[in-house]
Amino acid sequence: MRESVQAEVLMSFLVSEELSFRIPVELRYEMRDPYAVRMTFHLPGDAPVTWAFGRELLLDGINAPSGDGDVRIAPTGPEDLSDVHIRLQVGADRALFRASAPPLVAFLDRTDKLVPLGQECTLADFDEHLEEALGRILAEENAG
* Position with higher pLDDT, 129 vs 10: 10
Instruction: Give the pLDDT band of residue 138 (cuts 50, 70, 90).
Output: confident
The domain tally of the chain equals: 1
Assign 87 to helix, strand or coil. strand
What's the angle, vertex CA 56, arms to CA 58 and CA 26, rounded to 5? Answer: 40
User: Which residues does 12 contact at the CB level (< 8 Å), separation at least 6?
Assistant: 20, 21, 22, 23, 97, 98, 99
pLDDT band at 131 (very low <50, low <70, confident <90, very high): low
pLDDT digits (tens, 9 = 90+) for 16-25: 989 999 999 9
Number of H helices, E strands in the chain: 3, 7
Residue 37 in contact with residue 59, Cβ under 8 Å? no
Q: d(Cα 49, Cα 36) in Å, to the nearest integer?
A: 16
> What are residue 84's DSSP bridge partners?
75, 99
HSE, CB side, 13 Å, CA atoms: give it for residue 112: 11
Per the structure, the complete domain to which residue 43 belongs is given by 4-143
Per the model's pLDDT, the better-predicted residue between 12 and 127 turns out to be: 12
CB 51 within 8 A of CB 43: no
For residue 104, the domain's CATH number is 2.30.31.20
Question: In which band, very low, low, confident or very high, does the pLDDT at 144 lie, cut at 50, 70 and 90?
Answer: low
Q: What is the pLDDT of residues 59-103, one digit of tens each?
A: 999 999 999 889 999 999 887 778 999 999 988 889 999 999 999
